[in-house]
Amino acid sequence: TAAARPSPDAARHDLLSHAVTARIAVPPDRFAAWFAAAPLERLLPGTADLPGVTGTAPLGSLPFPEPGARRLVCLADGGTALEEVLAHLPGQRLAYMVWDYSTPAARPIEYGMGEFRFAAEAGGTRVDWRYAFALRQDRFPGSLGALGRGLFRLAFLDTRYARFMAAGMAAIEREALAAAR
């Protein structure tokens, strides 16, 4: 039934975002091939505040990361989320949407939009990762409008989620370097 669930309308403009960047000493062509096949559970270990990924299960026949491919993402706290690839330009960009979070930390979130951008830089690959959230308007803090978005940024996005992204980027770098040896 998860494969049939519609993705949210992503036309909102009140998304709250955070970004991290790393320069990884792996040539772009090798990095791109590795990244497209890397298991998500190796890349998102989680933090003390937010659960990591323990596995994924494809939903439908499209292979990840082909645009339109969907998968169920399983989390260390027993929660899940749905993920769909929105765009994939090998070695340049991967954009995706995540929704239907069941983990308690994500109760106020309607959906998330993630994007990785890759570029050649100084004998390696620059990886830019941006993640943005749309809050549910019927739950705190989203029900407070701009004030709630500010609270969400302070209490979650620029703190707990920033640490989660930093841990993820460190894992990406560690795994990419190990695979390149």
- Give the model confidence (pLDDT) of 18-29 as tens digits: 999 999 999 999
Q: What is the 3-state secondary structure (H, E, C) of the chain?
A: CHHHCCCCCCCCCCCEEEEEEEEECCCHHHHHHHHHHCCHHHHCCECCCCECEEEEEEECCCCCCCCCCEEEEEECCCCEEEEEEEEEECCCEEEEEEECCCCHHHCCEEEEEEEEEEEEECCEEEEEEEEEEEECCCCCCHHHCHHHHHHHHHHHHHHHHHHHHHHHHHHHHHHHHHHHC
- Give the model confidence (pLDDT) of 127-181 as tens digits: 999 999 999 999 999 999 999 999 999 999 999 999 999 999 999 999 999 999 8
